[in-house]
Amino acid sequence: MLTINGDEEITVGIAPLLGAINVAATPIGTVDNALEHKDMTIANFSKTRIMGSMLQVNHIRLAYEPRLVLDDVSFTVAPGEKAGLIGVNGAGKSSLLKIIAGLLDADGGTVMLPRTYGYLSQDVVHEDPVAGEGTVRDFIFSSTGLDAAISTYEELASEVGLATEGELPALLGRFERAQNELDRLGYYDADARAEQLISGLDLGGVTLERYVRTLSGGQKTKLALVRLLFQAPDLLLLDEPTNFLDVEATAWLMDFLERYNGAILIISHDLDLLDRAINKVLRLNEFTHKLEEFRGTYSNYMTQTGDALALMERTKKVQEREIARLRKTSDKLRGFGATRVSQRIAIDKRIATLETSMPKLPQASRRISIDFPVRLASGRVVMRAEHLFKRYGAKEVFRNISFQVERKQRLVVVGLNGAGKTTLLRILLGLTKADKGKVIVGDRVRTGYYAQENEGLDYSSTVINEAMAVLSDDAKRVRGVLGRFLFSGDRVFQQVSTLSGGEKTRLALAKMVLDGPNLLVLDEPTTHLDVLSRNIIGEALGSYYGTIIAVTHDVEFVRYLQPDTLLLMPEGRMLAYSSEHDELLKRA
């Protein structure tokens, strides 16, 4: 099945790449069926990737010149093993997953993959858009080739009905093989399995008959995950799969992954997920650019690294005290002249040995340091919504929404997936048109918008050009603000498309800081951030002097925001916030 010719070209006859979410899988049917599908050759399989029984990553190196990202990274994920890939934003986690999935070429090293694997991007909207004119059923079934098998069966059934007596024997043989193929692919319970996944991930009333083009961005992201889980490959490659899930869907996914029989390599900032669904931690060190491996859950990892760090700190202190004592002794011996030279030399050698063996404590991760300035105060009434209605086709999203937001007010919009939270924000900003009603913006209102899907970023631009577009006449301030968001040196020339999810979030927020808005409209701003960055940004927004309208289900972030009001969607009811509403926020 695997041929490597003299030009090192790799042709794999049993692993087609299945588009849309870049899921690789074995083709349907026998080897003969594979030949019918044009040998299923993977044209974009890189020279460094071959097929095997497990995931084996060997000596991977990657640089976004001149910045080194990955250096000699090697590890394995055995069949049934579940590994969590961790590290700060920008450490190279998403890049490593893309290299494994064949979507990014490494500068060196090799990757060996199991027979079937599937990849889910954390940025489905930009990187792996879910498109097509077919139904949700067609899209899900295409992950295994079941859609093609159904089509073949239906065509043959029609031909059998019209066949002559002479044509019938051959057609019946093909018809029987088509029936067997449906059996093999689990056709008779496929709808039930797909509906179970749709229900578990809470796609908000989406049916198998619905057309994919009618789904929202968030629903398409979930549908990409449904398709991947339906395929059930030997290896799941998941990049932040819970980003757009509410608490029930996240809990369901945790249970699913915990019971999953295949191997998993997952990136997640959800610490509960890393505790329940993994048995190995792979940490990318942002200073050495190498990978460190730890057995057990994330809690086990924290215990191991905490104990090891504590031991290193104790050892370092003991050795520093001993060096100080020996230096005093050496200084005293100098006063005795030549009579104590040999003793002093022995002590100096001992000092040199201790200094050489001194434990080198790991560098602390760099912290972003920010505030959100307000250039000009707004008028007392910042925004007023009057009798807003919105529907998409036959589906009514919300009706008769009316509210007012005043200067320095902090409003958090709450509701289940599909309740119209993002749609409401876009209507308030004039990006989406309401079917009825109007939005009145107050005097001197200067708005900063953080979009959940980073739609305000130009992926073809560089970090510095994106920031300079906001404040073109003050390069010094732009570089200063970017530095506070950890974009310094040559990193400011990095292309936006190569940034991690967390780095894109930091860039979007840096642009807001440069613009100095007095109204912040935030749609899930902590989705891609690591815990440290999330807390720092939360603290900065807690002391912001302007007005905030936010959509978030991150309870810790809400506590930093200190909101005074909740807007419940889709009913449009306003109520004063208290900590008693935290459980409601978790479920939103």
The pLDDT tens digits for 365-424 are 555 566 778 888 899 999 999 999 998 877 888 999 999 999 999 999 988 777 888 899
Residue with tokens 């570089």: 479
pLDDT of residue 368: 55
Average the pLDDT over 155-168 and give the result. 79
Architecture of the CATH domain 2-145+185-287: 3-Layer(aba) Sandwich (3.40)
Encoding tokens for residue 215? 């789904």
Of all helices (H) and strands (E), which one includes residue 71? strand 67-77
Encoding tokens for residue 381? 């009434």
Q: At what angle do helices 190-200 and 247-259 cross, to 10 degrees?
A: 130
Encoding tokens for residue 230? 């339906």
The pLDDT tens digits for 176-213 are 888 888 888 888 889 999 999 988 888 877 889 888 88
Gyration radius of the chain's alpha carbons: 29
CB-based contact 107:61 (threshold 8 Å):
yes
Q: Residue type for 583, please?
A: E
| Peptide linkage before 570 cis (omega within 30 of 0) | yes
User: Do 2-145+185-287 and 381-587 show the same overall fold?
Assistant: yes
Domain boundaries, the chain: 2-145+185-287, 303-356, 381-587
pLDDT of 478 > 60? The answer is: yes
The pLDDT tens digits for 278-319 are 889 999 988 888 999 989 888 888 777 766 655 566 677 778
CATH for the 381-587 domain, from 3.30.70.270, 3.40.50.300, 3.40.30.10, 3.30.70.1070: 3.40.50.300
Residue with tokens 């972003």: 368
39 — pLDDT class (breaks 50, 70, 90): very low
pLDDT of residue 40: 27
Phi then psi for residue 131, to 5 deg, are -130, 180
Encoding tokens for residue 203? 């796609």
CA atoms within 13 A on the CB side of 538: 21
- Give the 3-state DSSP-derived string for 23-69, with helices as H, strands as E and coil as C: CECCCCCCHHHHHHCHHHCCCCCCCCEEECCCEEEEEEEEEECCEEE
pLDDT of 3 > 60? The answer is: no
Residue with tokens 């739609």: 455
Nearest CA among 219, 227, 187 for reference residue 23:
227
pTM for the model? 0.64
Q: Buried b / exposed e across 262-289, counting CB within 10 Å, b at 16+?
A: bbbbbbbbbeebbbbbbebbbbbbbeeb
The pLDDT tens digits for 18-35 are 233 333 333 333 323 332
Encoding tokens for residue 179? 């029936």
